[in-house]
Copies of this chain bind each other. A is one copy, B any other.
Amino acid sequence: MEVAPARRSRGPSPERTARTRAAILAAALDEFLDGGFAATRMADVAARAGLAKGTLYLHFADKEALFEGVLRGLVEAPLAGLAAAAPAEGEAVRDFLLRVLRPVLRDMEASRRGAVIRLVVAEGGRFPAIAAMYRRIVIAPGLAAIGALAARAAAAGELRGEALLRHPPLLVAPVVLAVLWNGLFAAGDPMDAEAMFEAQLDLLFPVRGSHPAET
């Protein structure tokens, strides 16, 4: 073992560093999602992470950078997975979308990604950096992927009309609405993001087997 302690033995351990960074991100995630961006104080994040304020700034340049770290930690890996995924041989785009996105929608709240959407929508206006960040990291790749899939579906004749080609956001609009709804009206009847997504999918992609009369 000990492949390459290299020129690296002196000084503090890089492993500890990674652990600290993770602790900060975990604490920040909790704080941001419960209270929002503005209301979260760096001091609270530090306290929750069991660190001093200054330590935060050793790992993240400022509050926005910290939020970006949280955002990346939460969505980058999954998003990369999605982006890498592609319809299997002979798989219809509709089926692919269902297969891939259903799990994502299902744990929208459990994974706290829904909360992130709500935070961005709620505070993006006052903190444009946050909106820009979310757009760059999540929205842009997402819409690009949708656009590519729409083109593929269109080529295969799987698409109804040109709606999705012209307006890729149509695919996710119902999901966003449902997520916001569930945040605003936490009590009472939640909106079923998954069901709405499937309904929208049925509108965008005619279901071959069951509705043979349609294009």
A residues near B, CB below 8 A?
Answer: 11, 35-36, 38-39, 52, 118, 120-126, 131-132, 135, 160-161, 163, 166-167, 169-170, 172-174, 176-178, 180-181, 183-185, 191, 195-196, 199-200, 202-204, 211, 213-215
Contacts and interface: CB of A to CB of B under 8 A. Distances in A.
A184 B36 contact: no
Contact of A36 (B126, B131, B135, B191): B126
Contacts of A35: 125-126
Contacts of A163: 199-200, 202-203
A122 B11 CA distance: 37
A214 B35 CA distance: 47
A123 B119 CA distance: 10
A166 B197 CA distance: 12
8 contacts: A39-B126, A124-B183, A131-B184, A163-B202, A169-B178, A169-B196, A170-B174, A213-B214
